[in-house]
Amino acid sequence: MLDGKPIVARATPPGEGAIAIVRMSGSDLFSIADSCFKPANGSLFSDSSERTLIYGQFYDDNRLVDRCLAVRFIAPASFSGEDMVEFHVHGNPLIVDAVTRTCLRHGCRLAEPGEFSRRAFVNGKMDLAQAEGLSEVIRAESESMLDLAQRQLGGELSRRFNNYRRQLVDVLALLELELDFVQEGYQLLDLDDLQVTLKQLSDEADALLDTYRSADHLRRGPRILLLGKANAGKSSLFNAFLGYSRALVSDTPGTTRDYLGERILFNGVILHFLDSAGLRETTDRLEAQGVGLAQRLVPLVDKVLYLIDSSLPSSHIESELSSVQALSSEYPAVSFIPLFSKSDLSKGVGDRFSCSIHDRDSVIAVLDKLVQEYSVSLSSQLALLSERQLALLRSMKESLNAITICSDLSTEFLSSDLRTLLQPLSELTGDLTNEDILDALFSGFCIGK
């Protein structure tokens, strides 16, 4: 990768379509384009205005491949920071393959996954945090995740990291001056001010670290287990969430033996629901296995929606609430939400969180509650989107915790501690990195990106 040769690849998804784009990046592209693309106005493509779509014919030697559009971008004003050419052809795979083969024969090589983006990084068009944002923009399955990814691609997270770096560099500059005048005994750095700066940095790092879990939930969809006693209405509610009949529903206890999983998109957030067997003592071996499986799913999910049949006597309801409390204590990492089902059959629900599958508004209210923390908690802040960012920020936080500011601390030791903080910050944006990290990040991109 990055051998300097011009590269070519399809930039649109494979298969048939109205339009497909084949893109090239690198040196000597315009002469390659001149050899195979003939503008309809009779001029050379290399003489055409940049960033302007030109209509013409694409030839493989003397064979007409397609009547198409082409556009050129002159470095550094392009996605990759290099000269680039795009051919907008009809979306027949035969045409796309012929255009690609022709470019290969004229001196290009096939781009590796993510190579266009990697060249953009090398040429300063984006940093690593922005590249990770771009990856999430391409993969986002919900509007909320797409919004977060767009903010990171736009450089908001990078600016936050760079601001941290600037603060530390300013402090280090004062420390270096103190070292230069150590004989004179000058103290240019106010240790109280430094303590405040590091405390602020630590607090902001904590806030960012807390966003990773919610952002990860947005990416894959929080896993929500429907749990409760047999005939509490779990499968009926599961079907109501989906909007169609996915799970078998019966008044006979023990109908659900295995668990079912489905995802929905609600208000820009993916929700991954799991319907499970009802909790009860049973002599049926198959049902007992289903009950055991439901219990084993609890530590593997993010939330448990524990359904309580609100038509039951009050003594049974209190017993169920005690069961929820016991489970919550046993699995503190899982959020338990008691939900009173069949509210249309009860007179004593009061202001408790409840719903009825026969009342669509109450079902929507449950979904609203489930997505609220994700749509609200991340709507006005940045978020960590990758495990790499999480690990590096944790490393910075550990280094911060190890720094002790005191009057008798030597300038040399303090300077060394602060330099340790700079490394993870530099790695976050890619100012300091290695080839293995770049290979791992960009190889996850598609071929033409």
Distance (Å, whole) CA 281 – CA 110: 62
Query: Domain 7-125 has what CATH class?
Result: alpha beta
Q: Are 227 and 326 in contact (CB under 8 A)?
A: no
Q: Long-range contact list for 170-174, CB < 8 A, 24+ apart?
A: 171/197, 171/418, 172/415, 172/418, 172/419, 172/422
CATH for 131-215+384-442 is 1.20.120.430
Per-residue pLDDT of the chain in tens (449 residues, 90 and over written 9): 566 799 999 999 999 999 999 999 999 999 999 999 999 999 999 999 999 999 999 999 999 999 999 999 999 999 999 999 999 999 999 999 999 999 999 999 999 999 999 999 999 999 989 999 998 998 888 888 888 889 999 999 999 888 888 888 888 887 777 666 555 555 666 777 888 888 888 898 998 998 888 888 778 888 999 988 877 888 888 888 888 777 655 555 544 445 788 888 888 788 999 888 766 554 455 545 555 566 788 888 899 998 888 888 887 888 888 888 888 888 898 889 998 888 877 766 667 888 888 889 999 999 999 888 665 455 556 888 889 999 999 998 988 888 766 545 566 777 788 888 888 888 888 876 666 666 766 777 776 66
Instruction: List residues bridging with 307 in a β-sheet.
Output: 228, 339
Identity of residue 368:
D
**Neighbouring residues of 57: CB distance < 8 A, sequence distance ≥ 6:** 37, 38, 40, 64, 66, 67, 68
Distance (Å, whole) CA 432 – CA 449: 23
**Neighbouring residues of 170: CB distance < 8 A, sequence distance ≥ 6:** none
Report the DSSP pairing between strands 54-60 and 303-309: unpaired
Structure tokens given for 423: 């490394």
Q: CATH 3.40.50.300 in the chain, residues?
A: 220-377
Task: Give me the architecture of the 220-377 domain, per CATH.
Answer: 3-Layer(aba) Sandwich (3.40)
**Neighbouring residues of 163: CB distance < 8 A, sequence distance ≥ 6:** none
Torsion of CA 436, 439, 441, 444, to 10 degrees: -140
Structure tokens given for 415: 């300077």
Q: CATH 3.30.1360.120 in the chain, residues?
A: 7-125
pTM: 0.74
Q: CATH 1.20.120.430 in the chain, residues?
A: 131-215+384-442
Q: Is the peptide bond before 313 cis (omega within 30 degrees of 0)?
A: no
**Neighbouring residues of 364: CB distance < 8 A, sequence distance ≥ 6:** none
